[in-house]
Amino acid sequence: MDFIANALTLIRNAQAVSKEKVKIPFSSLVWNVVKVLEKKSFIEEASKKGRNLNRFIELKIKYDENGEPFIRGLKKVSKQGQRIYIGSKDIRPVRSGYGISIISTPKGVMTGQEAKKKNLGGEVLCQIW
């Protein structure tokens, strides 16, 4: 099962119906991706809930003053059938700098911009704008 694709779909669907919070099944990779989104202010708040097998992540979705979701688009890049890896020199801005790419590097999950500064490559998980 692709946990990141599932998480992105749950966020997209929650924004489509203007939900304030969304629950996502917990995995450590999804948690790291969500923490990057929280650090870059694409979501308001993320917290772990539950215990053992019933763990999940609760996200508070961020909306602007007009009620429009702050995240305009989500795209899963690397899929289970085709992993996409990129070197640090090949990392490019997403949507002319208005978005971010999230990359899984040997030093952890981070944005493409951070990976480029640290001269790290890795698997491109998704793009958010």
- Cα dihedral 43, 70, 2, 94 sign: negative
DSSP state of 126: E
Global confidence as pTM: 0.92
pLDDT of amino acid 18: 94
In the prediction, which pLDDT does 123 show? 97
Blockwise average pLDDT, block size 10, the chain, 129 residues: 93 96 96 96 95 93 93 95 96 94 98 97 97
Task: Considering only CA atoms, give the Rg of the chain.
Answer: 14
DSSP state of 18: T
Question: Which DSSP helix (H) or strand (E) runs through 21?
Answer: strand 21-25
Please report the DSSP string for 29-82 in residue order: HHHHHHHHHHHTTSEEEEEEES-GGG-EEEEEE-B-TTS-BS---EEE-S-SSS
Would you kindly state where each structural domain of the chain is located, as residue ranges?
3-61, 74-128
In 3D, which of 12, 22, 32 has the Cα closest to residue 56?
22
Determine whether domain 74-128 maps to CATH 3.30.1490.10.
Answer: yes
Q: Tally the C-alpha atoms within 13 A of residue 61's C-alpha that lie toward its C-beta.
A: 24
What is the model's pLDDT at position 52? 86
The CATH T-level fold of domain 3-61 is Ribosomal Protein S8; Chain: A, domain 1 (3.30.1370)
